[in-house]
Amino acid sequence: MKKQLKVKGVEWIDGCGLSNSEIQKTIKKYDFHELDIEACMEQNQRARIDSYDDYLFMVLHFPKYNPKTKVYSLNEFNIFLWKDFLITFRDFEWKNIDKIFNDYKNLNLEDDSDFKITSGYILYEIIQSMLEKMFKFIDNIKKDLKNVEWLVFERANANLVKEIMVKKRNIVILKHMLLPQIAVMKLIETKMNEMFKWEMEEYFEDLEDKISKVVNDIKVLEEYLDSIEDAFKTIIDIRTNNVMSFLAIFSAFFLPLTLITSFYWMNIKLPLEHRPDIVYLILFFITFLMIFAYIFWKNKWKL
């Protein structure tokens, strides 16, 4: 889907999920470098900004959450910008960007004829909207991790392994997606200052601060999840040790009985073998050994 508007001399073309032929058709009238055009048509480009005499080309990455798989996907943004135009290509729909587009489309310029619109400010609103969405993602991840933490201590089981690994993969994806963009955002700020004569400095400094905060929050979540995973492993180890201790005690309790019965099953002469009441004496002796062993182990290893 492609949308286009022109407001106060600035043209904005927004393309979502376009095919390669549609992308080429959209930018046909512009003299863009062939490598930038290829980057728009290829997936998984690294985050970067390329500067030319008559335009800037940027690649930014922001996540798109898939509620079915519960995994974040890469939503790549390819951006061409100059003073009089802004062209954005993205893989997935984003309601926030659609809202920005519709706000500019329905803008009544007659109410404020001095209202200044620039391609740089539109770009600021787009990136700012995506970063605000990231803060909501982080809040949702925090809630999910608290729920996982509760499950770990209340009823830790094998099903939690998948849950923890999905959360861990999501955090790794977000970290590797956004961390390189801190440096890119600094370069974007520099280029915006050069292009718009420092009019956009405060806006893009704000974006730089926000993306740094997002990355720091993701690192904190990574450490939080690591502590939850360590607690889960500790609980599983404790349960395993308890089971092994029980089996060891159970086996030790029956060891004397097994030893004595093995003797009496032998085809040899044994003391008191013709006295029927000897079995009670043996059972009493075995019970005494079990109780003694239990008390000894309990005091020694605090079972």
Give the Cα separation of 149 and 223 in Å (integer).
13
Tell me the C-alpha to C-alpha distance, in Å, between residue 194 and each of 5, 45, 94, 225. Answer: 25, 25, 29, 42
User: What is the total residue count of the chain?
Assistant: 303
Apex 64 CA angle, 63 and 66, nearest 5? 135
| Residue 31 φ then ψ, to 5° | -95, 70
Distance CA 139, CA 288 (A): 60
Q: Could you tell me if 185 and 162 are in contact, meaning their C-beta atoms sit under 8 angstroms apart?
A: no
pLDDT at 114: 55
Q: What is the DSSP letter of 39?
A: H
Q: What pLDDT score was predicted for residue 13?
A: 92
Q: What is the pLDDT along the chain (303 residues), one digit of tens a residue?
A: 888 888 888 899 999 888 889 999 988 888 899 999 899 888 888 899 999 989 999 999 998 888 888 888 888 899 999 988 999 998 888 888 889 998 888 877 655 555 578 899 999 999 999 999 999 989 999 999 999 889 888 877 777 888 889 899 999 999 998 999 999 999 999 999 888 888 888 999 999 999 999 999 999 999 999 999 898 888 888 888 877 777 776 776 677 667 666 766 665 566 666 666 776 777 787 777 777 777 776 676 554
Residue matched to tokens 């587009």: 101
- The H or E element that residue 262 is part of is helix 201-264
Query: Which residues neighbour 12 within 8 Å (Cβ) at sequence distance 6 or greater?
Result: 4, 5, 6, 85, 86, 87, 88, 101, 104, 119, 122
Provide the pLDDT for residue 95.
87
- Stated pTM of the model: 0.78
The pLDDT value recorded for residue 210 is 93
Cα dist. 140→70, 134, 135, 156, 166 in Å? 12, 10, 9, 22, 14
d(CA 144, CA 65): 14
Here the tokens at position 177 are: 């997606």
Residue 67 is predicted with a pLDDT of 83
Residues 6+ apart with CB under 8 A from 52: 33
- Amino acid identity at 282: I
Q: How far separated are the first and last CA of the chain, in Å rounded? A: 67
In the numeric block, the tokens 């923890």 are attached to 164
C-alpha closest to that of 73 among 62, 82, 81: 62
